Amino acid sequence: MVVPLVMVFFSNLGSKNAKVTKAGHDKSVMYAKGRHYSRNDCERLVRKLVIDGILTEQLYVTAMDTAVCYVKLGKFARNILDGSKKVSSLTPSLNMWWF
């Protein structure tokens, strides 16, 4: 599944944004897991997940010349799910809230 990057932020911050609820992201087990963190901290963690290959970014340019970023599971996502890899953060307060 490919989702807009901004939806990952809003969903994990616990947003009741109409797009989040319409897409059913508020039903996800990961919904609002990062509600105690700032949007900047959430963005940093998602960027780290991309760098570590857990998420993969896909950038598109729309007809209106706007860049849109989508993310999907990366090649190391399965390792997180089966417990063979852990996510660590450069910020101790963020450590492991994603999983």
CATH code (residue 90): 1.10.10.10
Is residue 99 included in any domain, yes or no? no
Give how many domains the chain has, as a whole number: 1
* pTM of the predicted protein model: 0.66
Which residue is it, tokens 């609002």?
32
Is residue 26 included in any domain, yes or no? yes
Look at residue 12 in the predicted model and tell me its pLDDT. Answer: 61
**Whether the predicted pLDDT of 60 surpasses 60:** yes
Please say whether the beta carbons of 58 and 67 come within 8 A: no
**Whether the predicted pLDDT of 98 surpasses 50:** no
Residues of the domain holding 65 = 3-94
**Whether the predicted pLDDT of 58 surpasses 80:** yes
Is residue 25 included in any domain, yes or no? yes
With a CB cutoff of 8 Å and minimum separation 6, the contacts of 11 are 20, 25, 26, 28, 30, 31, 32
- Mean of the per-residue pLDDT values for the chain? 76
